[in-house]
Chains A and B, each alone.
Chain A
Amino acid sequence: MARLSIEGLCKGWDFPVLDELDLQVEEGEFFIVVGPSGAGKTTLLRLVAGLETADAGRILLNGEDVTTVPPYQRGIAMTFESYALYPNMTVFKNIASPLVARKLDRHTIEQKVTAVAKLLQIDHLLDRKPGEISGGQKQRTALGRTLVADPKAYLLDEPISHLDAKIRHELREQFQTLEALHTVGTLYVTHDYSEALALGDRIGVMGGGKLVQTGTPRELFDFPSHAFVAQQLGQPGINLLMTSLTEDGGKTYLRSRDGNLKLILDEEQRQRLNGRSNAEVLLGIRPQHIRILAPRQKAPAKHQMVDARIEQFQPLGSMGIAITRAHGIDLKALTPPEAAHIGAQEVRLAIFSPAFHLFDPISGKRI
Chain B
Amino acid sequence: MSETNYKLVRGLLLAFLGLWVLLTLAPFYWQIITAFKSAAETNLTVPTFWPREFFPENFVAIFAEPANFSALVDSFIIATGNTVLSVFLGTLAGYAFARFPAQAGGENLAFWILSNRMFPPVAILLPMFFLFDSMPWGTDSYMSLIILYLVFNMPLATWLMMVFFRDAPRELEEAAYLDGYTPFKAFFKITLPLVLPGMISVSILCWIFAWNEYLFANLFVGTAVKTFTIVIPTFTQGSQTLWNLQMAFSLIAMIPPVTLFILLRRYMVRGLSLGVVKG
Contacts and interface: CB of A to CB of B under 8 A. Distances in A.
Interface of A: 49-51, 70-72, 76-78, 80, 82, 84-88, 97-98, 101-102, 145, 149
Contacts of A51: 174, 177-178
A88 B174 CA distance: 16
Interface of B: 169, 171-172, 174-183, 185, 190, 193-194, 279
A76 B178 CA distance: 7
A82 B177 CA distance: 16
A101 B180 CA distance: 6
Contacts of B177: 50-51, 70-72
A84 B180 contact: no
Contacts of A70: 177
B72 to A, nearest CB: 37
B147 to A, nearest CB: 34
A80 B175 contact: yes
A85 B175 CA distance: 8
Nearest to B193: A88
A320 to B, nearest CB: 41
- 5 A-B pairs with least C-beta separation: A101-B180, A84-B175, A71-B177, A98-B179, A84-B171
B169 A72 contact: no
A200 B23 CA distance: 72
Contacts of B183: 72
Given A51-B174, A80-B175, A84-B172, A72 B193 contact: no
**Interface majority SS (helix, strand, loop, mixed), chain B:** helix
Contacts of B174: 49, 51, 71, 80, 84
Given A82-B169, A84-B169, A84-B171, A71 B178 contact: yes
Contacts of A85: 175
A86 B181 contact: no
A84 B190 CA distance: 11
B172 A86 contact: yes
Given A72-B178, A97-B176, A97-B179, 9 more contacts: A49-B174, A51-B177, A72-B180, A84-B172, A86-B176, A86-B190, A98-B178, A101-B176, A101-B185
Nearest to A70: B177
Residue of A80, A98, A101 with most partner-chain B CB within 10 A: A101
B241 to A, nearest CB: 53
A98 B180 contact: yes
A87 B190 CA distance: 9
A77 B177 CA distance: 10
A102 B176 CA distance: 12
Contact of A149 (B172, B179, B193): B179
B189 to A, nearest CB: 9
Contacts of B172: 84, 86-87
A49 B193 CA distance: 25
A77 B178 contact: yes
B279 A72 contact: no
Contacts of A86: 172, 175-176, 190
B182 A72 contact: yes
Contacts of B179: 72, 97-98, 101, 145, 149
Contacts of B190: 86
A233 to B, nearest CB: 30
B279 to A, nearest CB: 7
B186 to A, nearest CB: 8
